[in-house]
Amino acid sequence: MSFYSISFIVFFVFFSLLMNYAPTAKSQRRILLLANAVFYGFWDYRFLLLLILVIVIGYIGAIQYKKNHNKIWIDGAVIIYILILGVFKYFDFFSESFSRIFSIKDNVTLNLILPLGISFYLFQAMSYLFDVKYEKIEIEKDFVKLATYISFFPQITAGPIVKSKDFLPQLERLHRIKKENIYSGIQLIVLGITKKLVFADRIGVAVDEVYKAPISYNGISVLMAIVGYSLQIYCDFSGYSNIAIGIAKIWDFDLGENFNAPYIAKNPSDFWKRWHISLSTWFRDYVYIPLGGSRNGMFRTYFNLFITMVLSGIWHGANSTFIIWGIVHGMASALNRGFNDCLRRTSAKYTIPSGLCIMMNYVFVSLAWVVFRADNFKHACTIYKCLFNTSGLLYINVYVVAFVIIYIFISVFAVIMNNGNIIAINLNLDSMKNKILISIWIWLVVEFMYCGNSAFIYAQF
């Protein structure tokens, strides 16, 4: 059920009415859980059984931990979650890799369909168990409430990954649909659809053409494809986040922010504070800090940073390219931390202009995206080599150029006017002028939207 389909509109209006007229928070939770089940089951009802199993494991693990005061219940549930993720997402990859390394002809593969959003809802379930273990929240005795949190439909397929300590308290209160929330939510949804259908999908057509046969294009075209993919994945993923946050906002839920102008980051660490913020903070809170964070000396700090980023790469998928991408970002984060530590120890006053830092970091991130996007490492190397092609087709997509100009303008405006933070769109729709503006905006989206394949990139993870 796509967010911009007729079936979703019918679904959303129907459950909005039920939610708004439910008399108590308890009845709202039941309605919301039913909505979650309908939404997820619409994709493939068979995966509902796995989702229910994940919820039951988390519920029992936490309850038994409270009864027995033994962390093995929490740790055991987390291990089961990791095994579930491993079987569905990584088993075939590691089996095939093992067979290839040791020249085994008859390798064992399961050929399982990857359940939609499995990485996202498993991480939310683990968040609950970790928050219980670290005493950030109380044990949740209400099964419906826990199930509603883990399966919350706006973000179950591609995030944001909302921590239990941030979301479960919101289920305690009665939610009503308010005018100001509708105004904010609609603008976030329209912004997300604009990013996705007008820019990401149209840019994606150009990127796909070049990545299919990079040797056929000259260096400028390959460079534009690399820049294009950096814009495509940003528009696609941040667009989904905008839509999810906007839908939740209409129902009076807060999912937080997931992107904050990532391409004006000055270094790799700054980038990960701005890109996929919910995943970055998840790994920070549940991997980096438990490993020791920066508490055990500088070399252990660098190691912790490196391991955290490698695990982040592995989370993205069962492909060597994701592992390499994680290693590259892990090395960059560790080197950046080491460079800053050296400057502090020597009291050096050496500084690099902010504009140059932003440009250098964008080049690094964009080149790293090549490995992320490529079919395999050999394909990525071919892309890099083709940057130096002096012959071949010249292919410059107008949407890539247009969005580069728009993004530069927005970024400069954000740096100058909002201290490097993204500028939120918050029109007062009580004003007739603003109603006309958003109507024109929606009309332009309809006129320029891409009508081909519009699957979200991160839904595959």
pLDDT in tens, 45-79: 888 999 999 999 999 999 999 888 888 999 999 99
**Peptide bond between residue 160 and the one before it cis (omega within 30 degrees of 0):** yes
* Predicted pLDDT of residue 417: 74
* Predicted pLDDT of residue 454: 72
Highest mean pLDDT among 337-351, 375-389, 416-430: 375-389
* Predicted pLDDT of residue 319: 84
Higher pLDDT, 451 or 32: 32
pLDDT digits (tens, 9 = 90+) for 118-147: 999 999 999 999 999 998 999 999 999 999
What average pLDDT does range 212-219 have in this prediction? 94
* Predicted pLDDT of residue 430: 87
* Predicted pLDDT of residue 290: 92
Sign for the CA dihedral angle at 341, 342, 345, 346 comes to negative
Long-range contacts of 134-142 (CB under 8 A, 24+ apart): 136/165, 137/164, 137/165, 137/168, 139/62, 139/63, 139/65, 139/66, 140/59, 140/62, 140/164, 140/168, 141/63, 142/29
Instruction: Please report how many Cα atoms fall inside a 13 Å half-sphere around the Cα of residue 404, on the Cβ side.
Output: 16
Structure tokens at 425: 């769109």
Given pLDDT bands bounded at 50, 70 and 90, which one contains residue 331? very high
Percent of the chain with pLDDT over 90: 66
What average pLDDT does range 210-223 have in this prediction? 94
Higher pLDDT, 232 or 347: 232
Least confident of 27-31, 143-147, 157-161, 285-289: 157-161
Given pLDDT bands bounded at 50, 70 and 90, which one contains residue 296? confident
Q: Is the pLDDT of residue 102 over 70?
A: no
Higher pLDDT, 246 or 423: 246
Q: Does the annotation mark 316 as catalytic?
A: yes
Say which residues have a Cβ less than 8 Å from residue 357's Cβ, sequence separation at least 6. 266, 267
Least confident of 76-85, 242-251, 309-318: 309-318
Given pLDDT bands bounded at 50, 70 and 90, which one contains residue 112? confident
What average pLDDT does range 384-392 have in this prediction? 92
Calculate the dihedral angle through the C-alpha atoms of 222, 387, 378, 312, rounding to the nearest 10 degrees: -70
Q: Is the pLDDT of residue 44 over 90?
A: no
Q: Is the pLDDT of residue 340 over 80?
A: yes
Q: Is the pLDDT of residue 113 over 90?
A: no
What average pLDDT does range 79-83 have in this prediction? 94
Q: Is the pLDDT of residue 349 over 70?
A: no
What average pLDDT does range 405-432 have in this prediction? 80
Give the Cα separation of 434 and 59 in Å (integer): 46
Least confident of 83-97, 117-131, 233-247, 275-289: 83-97
* Predicted pLDDT of residue 344: 76
β partners of residue 217: 393
Q: Is the pLDDT of residue 347 over 70?
A: no
Q: Is the pLDDT of residue 348 over 70?
A: no
Higher pLDDT, 157 or 422: 157
pLDDT digits (tens, 9 = 90+) for 255-269: 999 999 899 999 999
* Predicted pLDDT of residue 427: 82
- Domain residue spans of the chain: 6-176, 180-460
Given pLDDT bands bounded at 50, 70 and 90, which one contains residue 350? low
Q: Among the options 276, 316, 329, 379, which is catalytic?
A: 316
Percent of the chain with pLDDT over 70: 96
Structure tokens at 322: 């994701």
DSSP-derived secondary structure letter, 217: B
Higher pLDDT, 461 or 25: 25
* Predicted pLDDT of residue 76: 95
